Amino acid sequence: MSTPQENKDRAARDLFKRLHSCVYCREPLSLYDRLSGPCPRCGTLNLAGPDMTPDAARALLIELTARRRELGLSDQP
């Protein structure tokens, strides 16, 4: 069973991997894309979770980007 910190570390490591797709156009999206706002191709908003507000998404993106730096990873896609 994973701890919350292990889950955050995994999310930080996978932040730029295109593991998801847009619900409308099927464009491959990363968690970074989903937390950043609308799909870069069609503009559809793809939230990272059912209860994820835009403010919460921005806060999580800042947290995961900072965690990537702590892990010695690039904070740029």
pLDDT of res. 37: 86
* Integer Cα distance of 72 and 40 in angstroms: 27
Low-confidence residues in the chain, pLDDT < 70: 1
Record the pTM.
0.85
pLDDT of res. 61: 94
Alpha helices in 1-77 (DSSP H): 4-13, 31-36, 54-70
Domains of the chain by residue range = 4-70
35 Cβ partners below 8 Å, 6+ apart? 48, 57, 58, 60, 61, 64
* Integer Cα distance of 38 and 24 in angstroms: 11
pLDDT of res. 22: 94
Kindly report, residue by residue over 36-46, the tens digit of the pLDDT.
Answer: 989 989 999 88
pLDDT of res. 1: 64
